[in-house]
Structures are given as C-alpha cells and as structure tokens.
Amino acid sequence: MDIVSTEQKKRIHPHKFTLWVAIGSILMMFAGLTSAFIVKSNQTNWISIDIPVVFWVSTAVILLSSLTIQWSLRSFRQREMSKYRMLVAATLILGVAFIALQWLGFQDLWKQNITFRGSGAGQFLYVIFGLHAIHVLGGIIALLVIFVKAYVSRTKIYSSVSLEVASAYWHFVDLLWVYLLIFFLIIG
C-alpha cells in the first residue's frame, strides 16, 4: 500500500498537467505574435507608438494581485479561512481593476488616433493586449468560482489543488503581461 501511495504522490495532478499544456499553447501563440511584430516592424510604413502611462499602473495592480493570490494560497494551507477569503476577494478585485485600467489604456490609444485599422504597432498592440485581457478574464472567472466556493461551501476536504492551479495561471498571466509590456517598450 505504501508503494502505491508513494507512486501517486510522484504523479502530477491532471488539472495541473492540463494547466501546463494550456500555458505551453498560450506561450506559443504569444511567441508567434511577438515574432510577427518583429518581422513587420521592419517595413517602411511602420508606425511606432508610445505606451500609455495607465499601462504602468495596471502593471503595478496585476503584480500586487500576484502577491495576494500567493498569500491566499498560504492562508488556505494554514487553515486561516477568514484571511484566505479576504485575500481571494482582494485578488478578484485587483483582477477586475487590471481589466478596467487596460480599458482606460485603450481609450488613451483611441484618443491618440491609434486604431486597429491603422498600420504599424497599433494593430499588434490591440491584438496582443486584447488576447492577454481575454486570458486575464479567464483567470477572473476562475477566481470568481473560487471566491463563491470560499464563501458558500463548507470546506470538508482541505485540497488546495484548485487554488494552486488558479494561482499558477494567475502568476503566468502576470508574467506574460510584464513580458509584453517590456517587449513593446523595447521593440515597439
């Protein structure tokens, strides 16, 4: 019996495996898009853009949300349920704030007449940042489910797998955002 339980502990949970496959796919998509950006930026009619300042604020917000979700995971593991609930709620609020700040950033771009129909970096910016926002929305939905479960259901089995998966995904979209911002600052 001990051999079987030891072997099971060595295996990756199916949800975590699925997450890593999804992360690999998402990374390939963004690598392709940023590679296409580099290739297209060498064209003669290329128009560069300045990143709106509000994107820096959204970066601080999403990095803070990475801390709150990590603290919520630690609180869950330590069975500090009230602290866990508060930190999950804070992460959810920060995620929504990130999306709202992204919207403000796009409004700033529109005011600068940088549209999707124009040529140059604007097209890529809308596609890449828009796809990132969709992935963040997916994370917000996962956080919303965890939030509801934290307040509605009674915890009988303290399995942190769903929170670990959500946390890993959230950290991934955070790091992806930082990469994209730095990419557009250096290359764009």
> Whole-angstrom Cα distance, residue 76 to residue 158?
8
pLDDT for the residue 8: 59
Q: What is the pLDDT of residue 156?
A: 63
Q: CA–CA separation, 110 vs 83, rounded Å?
A: 41
Running along the chain, 188 residues long, what does each successive block of 10 average in pLDDT?
A: 57 81 90 88 77 92 96 91 93 96 91 75 83 93 90 71 90 94 84
What is the per-residue pLDDT for 178?
94
Taken in order of first residue, the domains within the chain and their CATH numbers are 2-186 (1.20.120.80)
The confidence score (pLDDT) of residue 187 equals 78
State the distance between the two ends of the chain, measured CA to CA, in whole angstroms: 58
What pLDDT, on a 0 to 100 scale, did the predictor assign at position 155? 58
Evaluate whether 181 touches 49 at the Cβ level (below 8 Å): no
Residue 98: its pLDDT value, please? 96
45 and 120 in contact (C-beta within 8 Å)?
A: yes
Instruction: Check: pTM over 0.75? Answer yes or no.
Output: yes
Which amino acid, residue 136? Answer: V
The predicted structure's pLDDT at residue 5: 56
pLDDT value for 43 = 77
- Give the per-residue pLDDT at 2: 54
Q: What is the 3-state secondary structure (H, E, C) of 131-171?
A: HHHHHHHHHHHHHHHHHHHHHHCCCCCCCCHHHHHHHHHHH
pLDDT at position 97, please?
A: 97
What pLDDT is attached to residue 18? 85
Nearest CA to 114 among 126, 106, 125, 122?
A: 122
